[in-house]
Amino acid sequence: MSNNLLAGKKGIIFGALNKDSIAWKVAEQCHAQGAEFVLTNAPIAMRMGEINELAEATGSLIIPADATNMEDLDKLFKGAVEHLGGKLDFVLHSIGMSVNVRKGKHYTDLNYDWLEKGWDVSAVSFHKVMQTAWNLDCMNEWGSILALTYMAAQRTFPDYNDMADNKAYLESIARSFGYHWGVKKNVRVNTISQSPTMTTAGSGVKGFDGFVAYADKMSPLGNADADECASYCVMMFSDFTKKVTLQNLYHDGGFSNMGVSDVVMDQFISGGEK
């Protein structure tokens, strides 16, 4: 359903890889709500080719960029402003990667070179994105900058590994840089702590299907899926949330406030095992 919530708004969406990506769903819904945007991902993702389909469907330009490379980001933001014909109203950072997770390294035996790479891609890149936009003064007043995160930043999920540390740092950057954006241009900066979602990145975490099933049984509303997260992002980009900033917003069906649920307890009560 379209209410033109984003009519006239312009932005950049990072991280659309394929149809399972939350960023892909965000792009589709932003387009449906009247926004114009540039799509971007790392050059290696461009070679997979699927993002071209999204660009065609949404009438969007693709500008490849390594989000850890300041030169790439400078070209991206300048190119987006030129293509869209004005400053930006929204930015979505939907990027995360851990080499240690990919390579199966245990948290107690991390490769620190890989740790630094994952930390740069997953968290520091958000600072680099905002610093680039700041230096180029390319955000409109009352713009909205979002990053996607996960509750492992606050609670221990052993197999989430060093990605938990990356997400904690990401959320801190949002608060710290968000203060300066608010004072300078009334731009709001928030993170959305989404339910575990079966994206390409998420499925690389050991036992991730277990995370998904457990969270669904713990949450009174069940897990939020990628389309529902996209709808929340649209709301955060819209003018209905102009005074929401520096927040880590849980979009998880209530999981974040649960201690235990009846469904989970039934697994442990005598005679209730299934």
Nearest-angstrom CA–CA distance, 75 and 251: 33
Residue 119: CB partners within 8 Å, gap ≥ 6?
162, 165, 166, 169
Query: How far is the C-alpha of 171 from the C-alpha of 163, rounded, in Å?
Result: 12
Flag whether 242 is marked binding. Answer: no
Q: Spell out a b/e string for 44-75, using b for 16 or more CB atoms within 10 Å of the CB, else e.
A: ebbeeebbeebbeebebbbbbbbbbbeebbee
Taking the C-alpha atoms of residue 45 and residue 64, their distance in angstroms, rounded to an integer, is 9
Q: Is 179 a catalytic residue?
A: no
CA angle 112, 202, 230 (to 5 degrees): 125
Known binder of ligand: residue 95? yes
Residue 250 among the catalytic residues: no
Q: From the candidates 112, 160, 214, 232, give the one annotated as an active-site residue.
A: 160
- The residue annotated as part of the active site, out of 112, 150, 169, 179, is 150
Tell me whether residue 22 is annotated as binding. Answer: yes
User: 158: how many CB neighbours lie within 10 A of its CB?
Assistant: 11
Other beta carbons within 10 Å of 249: 16
- What one-character DSSP code corresponds to residue 155? S
Residues contacting 30, CB < 8 A, separation 6+: 6, 11, 13, 37, 58, 90, 233, 234, 237
Beta bridge partners of 37: 11
| Integer Cα distance of 167 and 153 in angstroms | 5
Judge whether 15 is annotated as a binding position. yes
Annotated binding site for NAD(+), which residues?
Answer: 15, 21-22, 95, 167
Catalytic amino acids? 150, 160
